[in-house]
Amino acid sequence: EVSTLEDAERAILVEQLCARVDLPMQRVEVRTDESGESAELALAKLVLKQLLMLRHYADPGAGDGFDYGVESLARARRNEAEAARHGLDAEIEHPFGKGRVGIRAWLGTVLDDLQPLAVALGWDGALEPLREMAGGGANPAEEMRRWLRRESGGLERDSRGREIVPPALLREWTARRRERLEREARDLVRTVDGPEGAKLAPLMEGLFPGGAGRVGDGWRLEEEEDGMAARTWDGRVGEVIGLAVELIGIPSVTNCPEERLEEVERCGRFIARWLRNAGLEVTLYDDGRYPAVLAALPGAAEAEITLCGHFDVVKPEPDDRQFEPRIDGDWLWGRGAADMKTVVASYMVWMAERVRDGQAPPVNLLLVGNEENGEADRWGTPHVLDDLRRRTGWEPAFMIVGERTGEEGEELVGKVCPESRGIVRCRLVAHGRRGHTGVAGAGRDLLDTLIAARQALGALCSRHLTLASADGWHSSARFPFLTVGEPGVYNISAGEGELGLEIRPIPGEDLDAVVHGAEEICRELGLDLDVEVMEPGVTCPPDDEHLGLLLDAVASVTGSPAAVGRKLPGSSARFAPGGRQVVWGQSGIGPHSAEERHYLPSIQPYLEILDALADRLG
């Protein structure tokens, strides 16, 4: 509301400016070396990213040579491989497809382009470490290699020609690195004051020797007996990680033309066998296209709460090396590490502990092998629940779906999300007549028809769906694929084309109106409509008893009220009877990407909260 004409004019101006900025459409991606850099270099890289973002805001055409198409992405991957082999001395394909260029020369060109903007903002001096590299200076990885070679008097090589670093020398380098980190951190604390200093001080607790560590500390360094800064995982967390590594090693790929159904089945059988050997009562659903596993504590199959997850994964990026899991510090890397085989392993270990300890809380476990492609086929979650209703009359009173909810990446405890978006997936199919494109009477242009359908569907979704909101909680509508004809075939008209539509609706959206409108559009344009999946978003009733018990368990372990959120990606939560569910998982980064990894410190608090929940269930 506004009280004066001037206030109204100002409100309109602000709204127009915000609309022009269109923040979500801007993307700047910078790949950099991360090997023990100095604070100055870390600042230089942050400044570079900010300048590039501002450069794109000022000139929307900047960077248009890289369009995120197939060839641009393939070129980027080839360039990354060259940089990994040869560092800053590599010669790469020009990022915009203009021949070849040395990395140093390209870095220098970018810095020259940004120079006027950096000077105007007073940021020019911060870029000096990058200018030194562009002029021939070493990056941190090369500085480390030079130091190791110099201090060793020359590194020996193995049978494959790789340099061997003596452990004692690596420990010395690590100790020097720790000293520099501590020195730079102390300098930072001294130089930052005022409100920002007050925010920074608590994050530094536990970093320096004698500091107190606790749940919620930002970070800290730990000194192991051998002098190495390291982290070891044992006990129940070590068991979870070991099991997760085994699961990640099984390439159980779905949701693509090259699904590995034998591996999905192998993964399901591995899980079933492991749980059965741990003493649980196990049902393996394996007579459909995709398997599922239902595990219960002895004599407690019809439990109040069902822990839910999936053991299928999307295809690897860029190749099968993602199925060779590795641990790097606090991170477990691999396809499925964050989505969601580490949580699957956590559930399996936790259920096995209940058997070993003679406990029988009213909890069972359901794991499916086709979550990534929507669970429309047997044995997805709705099919298992329907089967159990028919055979036993049972259904869970509450479902906990363990998808990742620590989405910043390094939260010790993920948000509890009682609201989740649903999913709608449709295919629009156009049929034509194959024939020579150069003669009279050639078939209709299916591409034009499908593009017209896309425009009409976009308008339809804008009318019936909430596609924008101030708090980020809104539906989305995407067209993930459009295929017409055969690449390289120019003189034959296409006989068929397809357009895909995926909607992620928040609870309460009128999906029937959207589907009815899509049917009308298809009739007008002569298209076939195939609605593969249509599941609305869900909201757990706020007074649900089990939701309250879970929130209380989180608070008891962390010492503070549970963080409550909303889950944007769809999940099995949409199948919960009566919407009585939450999505609540651990922390990780980059699901479905080449950077996928799971934050290992989030495992222990998760298990402890499950313990506390079991205590409250009696």
* 545 in the same domain as 435: no
* 337 in the same domain as 297: yes
Distance, in Å, from the CA atom of 317 to the CA atom of 594, rounded to the nearest integer, reads 5
The percentage of residues in the chain with a pLDDT greater than 90, rounded to a whole number, is: 54
Within-domain flag for 468? yes
* 105 in the same domain as 181: no
Mean pLDDT of the chain: 86
- Of residues 164 and 482, more confidently modeled: 482
Handedness of CA 66, 69, 75, 78 (dihedral sign): positive
Least confident of 47-61, 98-112, 154-168, 340-354: 154-168
Give the CATH number, domain containing residue 522. Answer: 3.30.70.360
Within-domain flag for 581? yes
Token digits for 493?
A: 């008209």
CA distances from 352 to 82, 281, 295, 602 (A): 46, 11, 10, 20
Q: Which residues of 14-46 are buried (b: 16+ CB within 10 A; e: fewer)?
A: eeeeeeeeeeeeeeeeeeebeebbeeebeebbe
H or E element, residue 197: helix 194-204
Show which of 516, 536, 556 is a domain's final residue: 536
Instruction: Give the model's confidence band at 502: pLDDT under 50 very low, under 70 low, under 90 confident, else very high.
Output: very high
Show which of 104, 127, 142 is a domain's final residue: 142
- Per the rule left: phi > 0, alpha: psi between -120 and 50, beta: everything else, 336 is left
Distance, in Å, from the CA atom of 242 to the CA atom of 277, rounded to the nearest integer, reads 16
229-271 tens-digit pLDDT: 345 677 899 999 999 999 999 999 999 999 999 999 999 999 9
42-72 tens-digit pLDDT: 888 888 888 888 887 777 777 777 776 778 7
* 130 in the same domain as 31: yes
pLDDT of residue 161: 72
Within-domain flag for 154? no
Residue 482 forms beta bridges with which residues? 499
Token digits for 177?
A: 């690195």
Q: In terms of Cα–Cα distance, which of 197, 214, 196 is closest to 205?
A: 214
383-438 tens-digit pLDDT: 999 999 999 999 999 999 999 999 998 999 999 999 999 999 999 999 988 877 77
* 589 in the same domain as 527: no
Number of domains in the chain: 4
CB-CB contact of 316 with 335 (8 Å): yes
pLDDT of residue 205: 56
pLDDT of residue 193: 67
* 410 in the same domain as 326: yes
Quick one: DSSP state of residue 171? H
Q: Which residues of 70-95 are buried (b: 16+ CB within 10 A; e: fewer)?
A: eeeeebbeebeebbeeebbebebbeb
* 395 in the same domain as 473: no
432-463 tens-digit pLDDT: 888 777 766 666 789 999 999 999 999 999 99
What DSSP assignment string belongs to 360-406?
Answer: --SEEEEEES-GGGTS-STTSHHHHHHHHHHHH----SEEEE----B
Residue 158 forms beta bridges with which residues? none
Handedness of CA 60, 63, 66, 68 (dihedral sign): negative
Distance, in Å, from the CA atom of 523 to the CA atom of 517, rounded to the nearest integer, reads 10
Token digits for 185?
A: 């951190």
- The domain containing residue 505 runs over which residues? 423-536
Show which of 100, 127, 142 is a domain's final residue: 142
* 130 in the same domain as 170: no
565-601 tens-digit pLDDT: 999 888 999 999 999 999 999 999 999 999 999 999 9
Instruction: Give the model's confidence band at 40: pLDDT under 50 very low, under 70 low, under 90 confident, else very high.
Output: confident
Within-domain flag for 564? yes
CB-CB contact of 137 with 146 (8 Å): no
Distance, in Å, from the CA atom of 238 to the CA atom of 616, rounded to the nearest integer, reads 26
Within-domain flag for 460? yes
* 398 in the same domain as 275: yes
Within-domain flag for 218? no
Within-domain flag for 529? yes
Q: Which residues of 174-195 are buried (b: 16+ CB within 10 A; e: fewer)?
A: eeeeeeebeeebeeebeeeeee
Token digits for 106?
A: 């390209």
Within-domain flag for 156? no
* 115 in the same domain as 49: yes
Residue with tokens 């990534």, as numbered in its chain: 372
Number of residues assigned to the chain: 618
The percentage of residues in the chain with a pLDDT greater than 70, rounded to a whole number, is: 86
Distance, in Å, from the CA atom of 416 to the CA atom of 584, rounded to the nearest integer, reads 5
Residue 93 forms beta bridges with which residues? 100
* 524 in the same domain as 553: no
Q: In terms of Cα–Cα distance, which of 260, 266, 225, 226 is closest to 247?
A: 266
CB-CB contact of 416 with 554 (8 Å): yes
Give the CATH number, domain containing residue 382. Answer: 3.40.630.10
CB-CB contact of 58 with 113 (8 Å): no
* 412 in the same domain as 453: no
